[in-house]
Amino acid sequence: MEKKLKIVAGIALIVAIAIAFIAVFNHKNTVNPEKITLAVAAQPISAPVYVAYEKGFFKEEGLQVSLPSFGSGKDALALVLQGKAAFCTVAETPLVFAAINGKSFHIVATMAESTKYMKIVARKDRGIRSARDLSGKRIGVTMGTNAEYYLACPAYL
C-alpha cells in the first residue's frame, strides 16, 4: 500500500511540475509588459488597431502599447523611420517613396485593402460635379500619400 502511495505521490508531483512549467511559459508578462509604440494613421481603415487597443488585446499579449495618432500614414511611417515607433499603419504609396529613397523597413501584415475608400470632397456650387471638373482648380492634398498618387493618375479620374 505504501508503495502505491509513493507512486501516486510521484505522479502527482510530476503533473504539478508540468503544470507549473506550462503556466510559466504560457503566462503573459503583465507585471513588466513590453512597451511598444504603434504610430497610427487616424483614418477609418486603421479602426482594427483602435478596437484591439480598447478591447485589451495588446495587454492580453503582454504589451503596453502607445498609439500616437497622425493625419496620414506617411507621418506615421516617419516615426518608424526615425526609430521612435516600432510599427505603423500606412498605405503603399509612402512605402514606395521610402523604398525609393533607400529607407529600410519590413512589412509585417496587411490589415485591409480597398480600391474604393479614397474620395474627393468638393463643392457643387463651384461647378465641381465630377473628377473631370477639377481641372484648373486648387486642390488640397497631402503630398507623398495615396491621395496624391490617385489624384495624379488620369485613369482614376
Grid cell 485593402 is found at 113
Asked if residues 70 and 98 have their Cβ atoms less than 8 Å apart, the reply is: no
Q: What is the pTM of this model?
A: 0.64
pLDDT in tens, 7-64: 544 454 455 454 544 544 555 555 688 999 999 998 888 889 999 999 999 999 899 9
CA 84 to each of CA 37, 75, 80, 81, 125: distance values in angstroms, whole numbers, following the listed order: 8, 12, 6, 8, 44
pLDDT in tens, 110-146: 887 766 666 778 888 988 888 788 888 888 888 888 7
Spatial neighbors of 66 by CB under 8 A, at least 6 apart, are 35, 36, 37, 38
1-115 CATH: 3.40.190
